[in-house]
Structure 1
Amino acid sequence: MSTSTRPSPVTHARWFKPAVAGAAALAALVLVVLAAQGLRTLPAVQSFIADYPGHTDLPAGAPTGLPAWLGWQHFLNAFFIVLIIRSGWRVRTVTRPQAYWTRNNSGPVRTKNPPQKISLDLWFHLSLDALWVLNGLVFMVLLFGTGQWMRIVPTSWDVIPNAISTALQYASLDWPTENGWVAYNSLQVLAYFSIVFIAAPLALLTGLRMSPAWPKNAPGLNRLYPVEAARAVHLPVMFYFAAFVVVHVSLVLATGALRNLNHMYGSRDDASWVGFWIFAASLVVMVAAWFLARPLFLRPVASLFGKVTR
């Protein structure tokens, strides 16, 4: 009797690999929770959490509360990051773009590099990058001008054991006691610091090296900073941003959603619905932008700055 070598339709279905990956991730999450809960029964671990509850003291003069500018900056950063990830993934995965864009090399704005035809997806990605960088400069000025930097920059080595303690408390589903209106816990401090001062500059520097604006006729500079090195870093940074967004949103909703959303969007420390409705409106805007970010709607805008061809 012969057996058929035809591949199984189940294992080759489009949903099979995502379903297996999702089941594996869920199983890993359950194991992490059980392991953390087991560790918290140990006297040594209980003593460690008592010594390092998850917070470090802020520097003298650190501001209390979150100003309104931080709320709209939070929305703009989220808006740009979501669309940058979407457009960047399309640049990487779409093999036959639906449209192309070529900049105009005439008029008051000229560059030494000759015009280069790029996909409309890449034009959109680079345009979003420019807006994101501009918004980031505004954010930095306000961050250091108002003293809010003291809330997200580690100022003591105690932040490390406190961050480990916080991670263990989160993993065991026994949330740490916190008040983000006054100070972030140490894990939040390290996460926000890494996003603002490490991941964002890396995304900018590697993206600039990969962009058409990078000088082509600079062999010494290109040997010093090869494009392969930029590509090797740029994609993991994108995944880090995506993972941060998923974890950040999950914890915001799981650890007191109304109060957290009021901190982030309403600039108030209560459990009213003001922050939630602002957050809901921001989601509507982001979802609309996600679906409008397609050639039909991008072509008229891109044609204002260059030539769009199919």
Structure 2
Amino acid sequence: MARLAGLPLWQRALVWLAAAVVLVGVVVLAAKLLRTLPAVQDFLVTYPGGTHPPEGTPEGFPAWLRWNHFLNFFFMALIIRSGLRVRTTQRPAAYWTPKKRGRGKASPKKISLDLWFHQSIDILWLVNGLLFVVLLFASGQWARIVPTSWDVFPNVISAGLQYASLDWPLENGWVSYNAIQLLAYFLTVFVAAPLAALSGWRMSGLFPSKANGLAKTFKMEWARAVHFPVMLYFVIFVIVHVALVLSTGALRNLNHMFLGADAGGWVGFWIFVVGVALTIGVMEAARPVVLRPIASLMGKVSRN
């Protein structure tokens, strides 16, 4: 490790890339050898890796779900970008102070413009997420991403072995997800998202400053230890999610989520491209010169 640390950055990157390729090769080879064993073959027949939602679970992707999905991606991209700016910027270009409170209240707390933008997008993301959960249960779509049987766990192992051997499980996202997808969506919506929201709330100015008992129970150290790793989880989830969407029937998958149709064709793809371009454009435009006039509508913006 000491020798590796002394190498130039590009050489270290090549070493890590080579190690990753070797590791992937070993995993694929091991998975293929395992699948030659009769006991493993029987296991794959008993647990093929798929899931079966309860009777009456709706199929397809309604319009509200498609819009919510895009807005979730849009807000998450802005949250990750702004969060990294907050974490890495040493001298903010501007600061934001909320409007003055009434007498007897604590003085408004000044924060960087980057942090104001990060927290503002957080609120929009939370509203979008709460709307998603409400509509998810109201429509019956919840059964597509919530495990309803213990069989999900052996099916996760089965699907993982199939992915690792490069003989991937059959996909039919219009009807249901495989066990890994189902569990990943469940953890993202009902575990990672609440952890991100709670830890972010604890570190923000929205946390009640005089709630000493709550502050002792809900410690700042815990929030800081959780918030950044959860953000990394979301980054990894998005990368893997997009890679699988594009590698398991890209046109059909994109038509599912952007057109609401179980069909081929390029319409969903071009809607996806426009959505990604819009997201990147807003990410690049979210600079102090653009954010200052917007932030000034809700408080005071200053250079120091």
TM-score (norm: length of structure 2)? 0.93
Aligned twin of 2:63: 68
- The 5 Å alignment of 1:89-168 reads 89-106=84-101, 112-168=105-161
Q: Offset of 1:169 from its aligned partner?
A: 0.9
Amino acid at match of 1:271: G
Q: Secondary structure at the match of 2:96?
A: strand
Q: Offset of 1:20 from its aligned partner?
A: 4.0
Aligned twin of 1:3: none
Query: CA contact under 8 A between 2:101 and 2:107: conserved in structure 1?
Result: no
| Among candidates 273, 280, 300, match of residue 293 of structure 2 | 300
| Among candidates 25, 31, 39, match of residue 30 of structure 1 | 25
Aligned twin of 1:193: 186
Amino acid at match of 1:215: P
Q: CA–CA distance in 1 between the matches of 2:262 and 2:229? A: 36
- 1:224/1:90 CA distance change after superposition, 3 Å: same
- 1:20/1:85 CA distance change after superposition, 3 Å: farther
| Among candidates 206, 224, 234, match of residue 231 of structure 1 | 224
Q: CA–CA distance in 2 between the matches of 1:93 and 1:52? A: 46
Q: CA RMSD in A?
A: 2.1
Q: CA–CA distance in 2 between the matches of 1:78 and 1:205? A: 19
Q: Secondary structure at the match of 1:307?
A: strand
Q: Offset of 1:17 from its aligned partner?
A: 4.4
Aligned twin of 1:178: 171
Query: CA contact under 8 A between 1:113 and 1:213: conserved in structure 2?
Result: no
TM-score (norm: length of structure 1)? 0.91
Identity across the alignment (%)? 61
Q: Offset of 1:106 from its aligned partner?
A: 4.9
Query: CA contact under 8 A between 1:113 and 1:215: conserved in structure 2?
Result: no
Aligned twin of 1:277: 270
- Per-residue CA deviation, residues 133-191 of structure 1 (Å, 9 max, x unaligned), is 11112111211111100110000000011111111111211111121111111111100
- The 5 Å alignment of 1:38-77 reads 38-77=33-72
Q: Offset of 1:201 from its aligned partner?
A: 0.6
Return 5+ residue gaps in structure 2 as ranges. Answer: none
Q: CA–CA distance in 1 between the matches of 2:22 and 2:121? A: 37
Amino acid at match of 1:285: L
Q: CA–CA distance in 1 between the matches of 2:90 and 2:254? A: 40
Q: CA–CA distance in 1 between the matches of 2:58 and 2:263? A: 18
Query: CA contact under 8 A between 2:171 and 2:248: conserved in structure 1?
Result: no
- Per-residue CA deviation, residues 13-51 of structure 1 (Å, 9 max, x unaligned), is 4x4544444443333323322222222222222111111
State yes or no: 1:85 paired with 2:57.
Answer: no
Size of the aligned set, in residue pairs, is: 301
Q: Offset of 1:245 from its aligned partner?
A: 0.4
Query: CA contact under 8 A between 1:62 and 1:147: conserved in structure 2?
Result: yes
